[in-house]
């Protein structure tokens, strides 16, 4: 979708999920371990955008805490948060965002 920065009906803060890559990490005759990445992207506009992004990052990590991010899924090996990137609005832009990658490693039978 497309966000219209001039649309006053858009919320000041939102979170978007963006699917990333799936990478095969290990293969044996009967199973495969894959790593799937999804980007959790909190967005904010307005004067307090930087603070809103900090709060969103902490809230996301609180909800998805532990080695398995609180998930109980068969085959789940672990969940990691690699480094995230912050982008504050450039001149002429209104939205700030932080791309927080969530890497989910899982094993499945072949």
Q: Is residue 97 part of a domain?
A: yes
Does residue 44 sit within a domain?
yes
Does the residue 32 lie in any domain? Answer: yes
Q: How many residues does the chain have?
A: 110
Q: How many domains does the chain have?
A: 1
**pLDDT reported for residue 46:** 83
- Residue 4: pLDDT over 80: no
Residue numbers of the domain that contains 97? 13-109
Q: What is the pLDDT of residues 31-83, one digit of tens each?
A: 999 999 999 999 999 888 999 999 999 999 999 999 999 999 999 999 999 99
CATH of the domain at 17: 3.30.2000.30
Residue 1 lies in a domain: no
Q: Which long-range contacts (CB under 8 A, 24 or more apart) does 6-13 make?
A: 12/44, 12/45, 12/46, 12/52, 13/42, 13/43, 13/44, 13/52, 13/56
Residue 24 lies in a domain: yes
> Phi, psi at residue 51, to the nearest 5°?
-65, -40
pLDDT at 94: 87
- Position 3 in a domain: no
pLDDT tens sequence across 86-100:
999 888 888 999 999
pTM summary value:
0.85
pLDDT at 78: 96
Residue 35 lies in a domain: yes
What's the pLDDT at 1?
64
Concatenate the DSSP letters of all residues of 46-109 into one string: STTHHHHHHHHHHHHHHHT-STTTT---TTEEEEE----EEEPPPTT--EEEEEEEEEEEEEEE
């Amino acid at each position: 979708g497309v966000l219209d920065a001039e649309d006053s009906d858009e919320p000041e803060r939102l979170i978007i999920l963006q699917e990333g890559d799936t990478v095969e990490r290990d293969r044996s005759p009967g199973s495969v371990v894959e790593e799937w990445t999804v980007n959790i992207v909190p967005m904010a506009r307005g004067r307090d955008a930087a603070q809103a992004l900090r709060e969103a990052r902490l809230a996301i990590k609180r909800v998805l805490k532990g080695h398995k991010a609180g998930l109980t899924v068969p085959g789940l090996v672990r969940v990691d948060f690699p480094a995230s990137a912050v982008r504050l609005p450039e001149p002429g832009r209104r939205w700030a965002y932080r791309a927080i990658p969530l890497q989910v490693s899982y094993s499945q039978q072949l």
